[in-house]
Amino acid sequence: MAVCLIVARWAMEFWLNRLNKRHVLAHADAVPEAFKDFVDAATYQKAVQYTLAKSRFGQFEDIYGAVILLVLLFCGILPWALTVFTQAFGASAWAMAAFLFVIGVALALPRLPLDWYEQFRLEERFGFNTATPRIWWSDQLKGLFLAIVLGYPMLVLVLKLVQWTDSWWWLWAWGALMAFQLLMLVLAPALIMPLFNKFTPLPEGSLRERLLGLARRTGFRARSLQVMDGSKRSRHSNAFFTGFGRFRKIVLFDTLIQQLAEPELEAVLAHEIGHYKKKHIPKMLLWSAITSLVGLYVVAWLATQEWFYRAFGFEPGSIVPALLLFGLLSGVITFWFSPLVHFWSRRYEYQADAYAAMTTGEASWLIGALRKLNEKNLSNLTPHPFYSGFYYSHPTLLERERALKKSDQV
């Protein structure tokens, strides 16, 4: 069954990639009419080549990941490792949490060469990479440090809850995870994000006054307006707000400020505020809470199924194999729900776009910003509808433009 699920996911990913590649190549000879006003032929061809390069890399990633997963699940190394670890360190919650943590780190290692290639070969070739090997390795080590400080104690707590609350452990674990997630919303902007990037107040001037005026006009209270040095890793750009309540802050990538005019930056920020005003963040947190609850319940059920353990060479009796196997296999199930999740996400993007157009009074500002961002980021301007429907959390540029122009006429 697991083999069928893994192969089915790979086959679907392969088909979607091929479909999208053919669609892109069918429009590659010349700049499509819809984009001629803001994309020149050289930039369009570079975007096509970037899309095709990412597609080739993505297909290799899919095969690589599927092979590694199949080998891990069926070569017997995971049951053997659990037996060896238990004999050496015992079966306490601290020891079993350490086992899961070590396995997680070991499973991340095969991914490192791919991440390196993507950053220093693929992104470098198209002019996006600005990171140095030192920064890249520093990010990996900081991520490992955070996993030890935050992730390992959380694993211990979950395993302790299994011991303390018996068959209802999944409900208690869910409550602990939700409390941890909310705590991170407060702590991450102040303690974690500054470990990776430098945040400085947006300098005094017309842009700051324009954006603060937008925040006042929309009733969006934020602790600060800050600029993040995203350019030290990449020339890609973004804007977001993080935290909540009095801890909320608005963050602009320095690359975004370099690429957009002030009215366009105002429109981008209005879009982000639109997500807040439309209550998209609480709805997404609620969805995350529901899926986490369902996932933990499934783990609790699988832990009672002897056939599940035997199929992968484990002995029944411990919750640890169920947690490990669920972590490895959940993706082959949730993958098929991606179109539904992304359909929901795209609806939110349309709503935030409409809010931005209404708030600024000019749909053209956001359209201009989207055009520039798609051009600067070498986005795929002609994705196949099936591909974008399955993978894209945001509507395509043409879809967003059509919706914005329609809302501007209402």
Q: What's the pLDDT tens digit per position in 92-143? A: 999 999 999 999 999 999 999 999 999 999 999 999 999 999 999 999 999 9
Q: How confident is the model at residue 167 (pLDDT cuts 50, 70, 90)?
A: confident
Residues 223 and 282 both lie in one domain: no
Which residue, 259, 294, 309, sits at the end of a domain? 259
Residues 410 and 277 both lie in one domain: yes
User: What is residue 273's predicted lDDT score, i.e. its pLDDT?
Assistant: 92
Tell me the pLDDT tens digit for each residue of 3-12. Answer: 899 999 999 9
Domains: count for the chain: 2
Instruction: Report which of residues 283 and 190 the model is more confident about.
Output: 283
Which residue, 259, 283, 302, sits at the end of a domain? 259
Long-range (24+ apart) CB contacts under 8 A made by 404-408 are 404/353, 404/354, 404/357, 404/363, 404/366, 404/367, 405/363, 405/367, 407/353, 407/354, 407/357, 407/358, 407/363, 408/357, 408/363, 408/364
Residues 207 and 234 both lie in one domain: yes
**C-alpha 105: how far from chain center:** 19
> What are the φ/ψ torsions at residue 206 (nearest 5 degrees)?
-65, -35
User: What is residue 178's predicted lDDT score, i.e. its pLDDT?
Assistant: 94
Out of 123, 353, 375, 401, the active site residue is 353
Q: How confident is the model at residue 263 (pLDDT cuts 50, 70, 90)?
A: very high
Residues 242 and 291 both lie in one domain: no
Long-range (24+ apart) CB contacts under 8 A made by 110-113 are 110/64, 110/68, 112/140
Question: Would residue 353 show up in a list of annotated catalytic residues for this protein?
Answer: yes
Does any domain span residue 115?
A: no
Out of 272, 349, 375, 401, the active site residue is 272
Residues 269 and 217 both lie in one domain: no
Residues 268 and 207 both lie in one domain: no
Does any domain span residue 148?
A: no
Residues 271 and 401 both lie in one domain: yes
pLDDT at position 71 over 80: yes
Does any domain span residue 33?
A: no
User: What is residue 409's predicted lDDT score, i.e. its pLDDT?
Assistant: 55
User: What is residue 244's predicted lDDT score, i.e. its pLDDT?
Assistant: 66
pLDDT at position 264 over 80: yes
Does any domain span residue 365?
A: yes
Q: What percent of the chain has pLDDT over 70?
A: 98
Question: Would residue 123 show up in a list of annotated catalytic residues for this protein?
Answer: no
Does any domain span residue 272?
A: yes
Does any domain span residue 357?
A: yes
Tell me the pLDDT tens digit for each residue of 30-70. Answer: 899 889 888 999 999 999 999 999 999 999 999 999 999 99
Residues 243 and 272 both lie in one domain: no
Note the pTM of the prediction, 2 decimals: 0.90
pLDDT at position 269 over 60: yes
pLDDT at position 361 over 60: yes
Which residue, 236, 259, 282, sits at the end of a domain? 259
User: What is residue 410's predicted lDDT score, i.e. its pLDDT?
Assistant: 47
| CB distance 332 to 5 below 8 Å | yes
Over residues 333-360, the mean pLDDT reads 94
User: What is residue 408's predicted lDDT score, i.e. its pLDDT?
Assistant: 60
Residues 284 and 232 both lie in one domain: no
User: Domain limits at 276?
Assistant: 1-25+263-410
Residues 288 and 404 both lie in one domain: yes
Residues 245 and 333 both lie in one domain: no
Does any domain span residue 171?
A: no
Give me 393's structure tokens: 């959390």
- The CATH number linked to 207 is 3.30.2010.10
Residues 232 and 373 both lie in one domain: no
Over residues 225-254, the mean pLDDT reads 82
Does any domain span residue 338?
A: yes
Give me 212's structure tokens: 């603060």
| CB distance 186 to 247 below 8 Å | yes
